[in-house]
């Protein structure tokens, strides 16, 4: 399989140019600020995730990159080229939609080759290129089938092949795994990440699934109310959230108000503490410790998740299933290791 030739689409672009740059970008729909003064830089070859709840602005940002929306204010660059007002088909990007948007009346290979046909590529050449793409996504031999004859995961691969055959410099993925069951979603996460590493092109991935973003992305931008509230590698987003929103949305951390933080021995302030970093032991083993009461227990296979009451606050803790188990109503002692909690800005 030959590597994709990214230089053909935009001659003269310096390889160190930022792949996608938002500078003060807003998109308003009447009084609604769907995107509100976003500044963002995505590097070439990154697997970049836009993460946030519904209505946070992440999908609108993806549509702005793809050319399906135009900014109300600000500028957007794709590999150094301003794209405001440029139609989707003239941008060096391609999109894989959540519903895949395959043509049901066309064969798989004709679906993949459709963009090449629009560009005027001869039939023999475009079918050969489409066959290469089907081989890349492990669908050799499926070219004569119709989309209805494929599984969900296979249709997702066809959509990927159709987007990649046009050799985009940036591939946009709009929650493409949302329609898949849990097992298949996990498999496709691995495949997508491996495919992106093999091709070396920029993937921009929109999702509301925190686990998916942390597992796949090189960096994650967390969106809320039309703004980017934090950008960083997955470990930084998870371990060192800056705000209450990020702490709660990504992984559901305990947000410790100052009085509770002080009870747990932390300096004055507001903190995020991941459930797995709150240590729970039998109260009798720590008579001088910080005592709480177990209010609920969820057995989750490898772990148990406890809900705990401490001075009117409800906290979560996760412990290995192999550790001594507690039941609702049991008194327990809580402790936090130095450096385990992340101080929040607000």
Domain ranges across the chain: 6-247, 255-343
For the domain covering 255-343, report its CATH number. 2.40.50.140
pLDDT of residue 247: 95
Note every long-range contact of 342-345, with CB atoms under 8 Å and residues 24 or more positions apart, other chains counting: 342/239, 342/240, 342/241, 342/247, 342/271, 342/272, 342/273, 343/269, 343/270, 343/271, 344/241, 344/242, 344/243, 344/244, 344/247, 344/255, 344/269, 344/270, 344/271, 344/272, 345/242, 345/243
pLDDT of residue 21: 97
* Average pLDDT, integer, range 312-339: 94
Highest mean pLDDT among 70-74, 92-96, 144-148, 210-214: 70-74
What is this structure's pTM? 0.85
pLDDT at 1 over 50: no
pLDDT of residue 117: 85
Does residue 344 contact residue 270 with C-beta atoms inside 8 Å? yes
pLDDT of residue 10: 38
pLDDT of residue 2: 39
* Average pLDDT, integer, range 146-154: 85
Which class does domain 6-247 fall in? Answer: alpha beta
Mean pLDDT of the chain: 88
């Amino acid at each position: 399989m030959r590597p994709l030739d990214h230089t053909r689409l935009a001659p003269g672009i310096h390889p160190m140019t930022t792949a996608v740059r938002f500078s003060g970008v807003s998109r308003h729909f009447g009084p609604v600020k769907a995107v509100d003064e976003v500044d963002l830089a995505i590097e070439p070859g990154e697997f970049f995730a836009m993460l946030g709840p519904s209505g946070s602005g992440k999908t609108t940002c993806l549509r702005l990159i793809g050319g399906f929306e135009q900014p109300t204010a600000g500028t957007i660059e794709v590999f150094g080229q301003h794209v405001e007002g440029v139609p989707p088909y003239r941008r060096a990007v391609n999109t894989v939609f959540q519903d895949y948007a395959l043509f049901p009346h066309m064969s798989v290979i004709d679906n993949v080759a459709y963009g090449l046909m629009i560009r005027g590529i001869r039939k023999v050449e475009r079918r050969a290129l489409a066959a290469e793409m089907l081989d890349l996504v492990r669908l050799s031999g499926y070219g004569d089938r119709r989309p209805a004859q494929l599984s969900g995961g296979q249709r997702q691969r066809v959509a990927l092949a159709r987007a990649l055959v046009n050799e985009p410099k940036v591939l946009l993925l709009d929650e493409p795994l949302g329609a898949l069951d849990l097992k298949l979603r996990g498999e496709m996460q691995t495949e997508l990440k491996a495919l992106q590493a093999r091709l070396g092109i920029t993937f921009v991935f929109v999702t509301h699934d925190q686990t998916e973003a942390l597992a796949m992305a090189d960096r994650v931008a967390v969106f809320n109310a039309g703004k980017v509230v934090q950008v960083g590698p997955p470990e930084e987003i998870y371990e060192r959230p800056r705000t209450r929103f990020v702490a709660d949305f990504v992984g559901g951390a305990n947000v410790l108000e100052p009085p509770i933080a002080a009870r747990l021995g932390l300096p004055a302030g507001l903190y995020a503490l991941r459930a797995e970093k709150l240590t729970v032991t039998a109260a009798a083993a720590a008579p001088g410790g910080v005592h709480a009461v177990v209010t609920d227990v969820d057995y989750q296979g490898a772990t148990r998740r406890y809900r705990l009451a401490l001075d009117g606050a409800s906290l979560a803790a996760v412990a290995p299933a192999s550790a001594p188990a507690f039941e609702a109503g049991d008194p327990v002692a809580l402790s936090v290791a130095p450096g385990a909690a992340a101080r929040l800005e607000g």
